[in-house]
Amino acid sequence: MTQRVTRVQVVITVALLLGATTVTGTGIVSDRGKLGQTTIEHQNGTTNQLTPQDTTQLRAEEIHIRKDVSDSAAVTAQIIHSEYEKNYIRLGGVVNDSINESRVVQKIKHIANRYEKIDTKTQKLLSEYYTGRLSGRKLLTHLLLVQKQAESLSNVKNSIENRDNVADEIKERADSLEESVIVEQPALRLVDGVITGNLSSIDLYMVSGNSSLILSSVNNNSYFRQATLYSGRNLTAPDQFRNTTFWGAGNAYDYLIGQDFYPWALAEGNLESITVGRDETSVYSQIYKFEILHSQGKITTYFDGGTKNIFHEAQRKPINEQPVTARRVNGTSDIIAAVNKTVPSGPMQISVTDTSGKPIPGATVRISGALINGTITSMTDPHGSVHTIQPYGRFTVKIITPEGHKASLSSL
């Protein structure tokens, strides 16, 4: 059972290295000004904080992902295993108390450097994708491999004991880099599900801006979205949430509430609970993760204490709980087509019925637009509906029934 959290009295559940602890968010943050993130904007009435302001500067496409005829799952597993073994051998195996202090410091520094290289390469490839020099599929392949590499590094790092005498600044760098790379990625998990054979296929909507990436998809009656703003971090800057004696979780929470980042999700009557930290969150890290449960689903957001910016957010919401912001209907003497819109990169429902209101299954639905890079093609389910992702920009929906009846809605 969840506990309702209010602005007046809030309890944050913090998962520390030594076990679950509870702290009260009463810290004071001196800077109450609005964030200066020029590439994102608030979307009132939604739970999307990281949203492009200028849609003319985006690269976007819909990618249909299915498991290749080759055994990609086995190949991927082999790569992951090889990467783990390579990291393990390079770092000399499990570090225990018999290893001297300087060796422990060296290994932790090496792991931090590896995280930094992974992150730098990811941003380089994102830039190549944005400028058209890299395909979306290759970028996704890299992102999947990066997560496996990061997780293997994390396993090796967690096996290192005797960190008590390691300087705090070394632990801060290593832990902050780790927690900025290993974040919740629900849309990417769907891609991994296809590769490993747990899912047959998915349609993924990719949106890239300057130093940013949004991935969203609809699967099994749920909506998944993740957004990353790489320029929203500065891990070399001092943690502005931390005070001299304790991790800055309370200050970060107060900032989240005070800045009204998610006004709809945090509103009384919508908010169910807020949890900060993951299972093994480090008190040395300047990354602050908040999991917000609200009446329409869950959003997980990540702050960097160096910038006080949100740099990553992840969402999972049931599609039947999403409010419709606009509805367009068009029909002929044979069929009626309706489009229920939410927000760009959010879920969208298209329904097809005959003039009596009876659903038409098996109708072909094609969506085209400038920020799709092709055509999204789907078929209506037994209820005469298609759930997909609403693209950015203007788009057109064209429908043809199994009997050949046609309808269209343009300039949506």
Q: Fold for domain 326-409?
A: Immunoglobulin-like (2.60.40)
**Residue that is written with structure tokens 């602050």 in the block:** 288
Tell me which amino acid residue 212 is.
Answer: S
Token pair belonging to 201: 């296929």
State the span(s) of the chain assigned CATH 2.60.40. 326-409
Token pair belonging to 257: 């509430």
What angle, 0 to 180 degrees and rounded to 10, lies between the N-to-C axes of helices 186-195 and 136-158? Answer: 100
- From the number of C-beta atoms within 10 Å of its C-beta (0-12, 13-18, 19+), residue 100 rates as exposed
Token pair belonging to 153: 């590094």
Query: Across-strand partners of 21?
Result: 14
In a structure prediction context, what are the per-residue pLDDT tens digits for the chain, which is 412 residues long? Answer: 333 333 322 333 322 222 232 222 222 222 222 222 223 333 444 557 777 766 678 888 889 888 764 345 445 555 555 555 555 545 555 444 445 667 788 888 889 999 999 999 999 999 999 999 999 999 998 898 888 888 888 888 877 756 667 888 888 898 999 999 999 999 999 998 998 888 988 999 999 987 899 999 999 989 999 999 998 899 999 999 988 656 788 899 999 988 878 888 888 888 999 988 755 567 888 999 999 998 888 999 999 999 999 999 999 988 877 778 889 999 899 999 999 988 888 889 999 999 999 999 999 999 988 888 778 888 999 999 999 998 888 899 999 999 999 999 987 7
C-beta atoms surrounding 161 within 10 Å: 13
Q: Kindly write down the DSSP assignment for every residue of 95-158, as one continuous string.
A: --TTS-HHHHHHHHHHHHHHHHHHHHHHHHHHHHHHTTSS-HHHHHHHHHHHHHHHHHHHHHHH
> For residues 67 and 197, what is the distance between their CA atoms, to the nearest angstrom?
7
> For residues 95 and 61, what is the distance between their CA atoms, to the nearest angstrom?
45
| 3-class SS of residue 140 | helix
Helices and strands: H and E segment counts in the chain: 6, 18
Contact 161, 95 (CB under 8 A): yes
Q: From 326, 314, 361, 317, select the one nearest 221 (Cα to Cα).
A: 317
Q: Kindly write down the DSSP assignment for every residue of 53-64, as one continuous string.
A: S-GGG-EEEEEE
The backbone torsions φ and ψ at residue 355, rounded to the nearest 5 degrees and listed phi first, read -70, -15
